[in-house]
Chain A
Amino acid sequence: MDPEKRPPAVSRRQFASVAAAAAAGFILTACGPKRLRELPRERLAALLEDLEKDYTKRFGTAVAVADTPPIQGVTFAYALDLSRCIGCRRCVYACVEENNQSRDPEVQWIRVLGMNKDKGIDFSESDPYYQPAEVPQEGHFYVPVACQQCRNAPCTKVCPTGATWTEPDGIVVIDYDWCVGCRYCMAACPYGARHFNWAEPTIPRDHLNTKTHYLGNRPRSKGVVEKCTFCIQRVRVGRYPACVEVCPVGARKFGNLLDPKSEIRYVIENKRVLVLKEELNTMPKFFYFYGT
């Protein structure tokens, strides 16, 4: 090599700045998982494989983590018949089983509020702890509340890290690996629909639902927020949410808001429909109606 053309010796200062830049670059690209929302599909697939291995090891049973995408032309919506609900709480427990909620400490995505018929829907008069021998109780009606999947969601807006967002099919989801647990979304939610893992969640091994979705019912860690996803792992493959199927009185309805022939559109067009706290302009995709 021609000595004249040799590059000048790298000064210590130059070396240090290059090293610093390289280190910063390394940290930026390689430092743990980035937001699942931004992850390219190939990297997501690899990540989900790791998750499956991790869960399978942790629970000692094969766990599948799907990444079923939204279906084009579909916006999910839900309707609940207040004149039918008897407050039996079958939905609460079906949801816990389906969506791998912690048994201890207890996390429940659905809260059934017992209400007085002479007070109407008044939250300050509601009681989620009713426990008579039989339901429905005379003079009472029941309002089950879970995530209302708002179109103008106050919870996603406030998240400081962008760890929660609305999917193209209208489901508000949380990235459990990106949530820092600040609970600002819980303060922002007018429906008490968001729940925090105050301690490490526990699920008995034989009760784990091993068919999971990465934005839905996969096992969570302590210190993160979770909520109803309309059973994203079921509805994106055409099934009904677990609570719809289990409801013994058929009070729960579900379907595609964009399909004029769907059950949900039938309800909206033919029944008396209301949404909770309408004045907050959250525009829920969870409707309550009177079937009779």
Chain B
Amino acid sequence: MTATPPPAIRLDRLRKEFTGTPPVVAVDDVDLDVGQGEFFSMLGPSGSGKTTVLRMIAGFEEPTAGRIELDGEDVTRRQPYDRDVNTVFQDYALFPHMTVADNVEYGLLVKKVSRAERRTRVAEALEQVRLGDHGARRPSQLSGGQRQRVALARALVNRPRVLLLDEPLGALDLKLREQMQVELKAIQRDVGITFLFVTHDQEEALTLSDRIAVFNAGRIEQVGTAREVYESPRTAFVAGFVGTSNLLTGEAARTVVRRDGSFAIRPEKLVVTPVDGTAGAAAPGRPTATGVLEEVVYGGPTTRFVVQLDAGARLTALEQNSGSGSAGAALRRGDRVRLDWDPEHVIDVPETTSK
């Protein structure tokens, strides 16, 4: 073995069952390594176990089995106050009876950092989230986005090894959320701390993350970069959850792909051409399928076409509205169209994950 640093977070067959009849397996033997300084997202629908994993790393839930290591150190049985991680809560959990500055100072205060150092670090942290002149306010006097930034400053001021973020942008409206995504990414690059980010928003995960773990039913279906997870989903679930996908199974798969199995193809990889005699043949080597246009949905930058194939499946194609020459402008519901695609973009996706 070389002397590479241990991963910031290592989960080893981490398991959590909640008592009940029958008991619920929230996290089902999860293995995961998160590297130093990574912006890592846990993505999945609600109830997939991603938040439970986060809460176990923070120390709020005790694992039923398995190990949690931070920087190579086993912290599985440690109390939250004995772990060098900090959390940004979904509801922010700001102390309502303290000012913004007191909230940010809290972690340093209970760790008995000297008064002078506390003052400079609180000022720095507030400056970092652009709330330098809001220190004397109460959390109740701030907007949602500002509270979110206070929660971030309160965690970052402690310079933890790992920052845990539990759907921190979930309560913000779209514009603010997009703005906070950019800020969050910049702050993470700035401080170089490992961020472990929980979200159910696939677009958010793709935009922010160095790597993503896709959760489903207490298990990780796939770990990879945004590009890997999007372009080469390893399971039907990942293909369907991250972005939209056309899933081809059974008879449709056989006729369209000419192979047995389940396949996914992204809507933007499909090219729509009207079948009216004027269009030439598709480029050689590109598979094609014909069908009837069922729906044309204009969406600003893109247009979505829903095509009912003669072979039986229904596929969605997405085209850029890049100019007057784009096919979308001329097409109407009920037109006969041809779809063609690059065979490389047809992804094998096993229907069920291996148990």
- Does chain A bind chain B? no
What is the interface of chain B, defined by CB distance below 8 A to chain A? none
What is the interface of chain A, defined by CB distance below 8 A to chain B? none
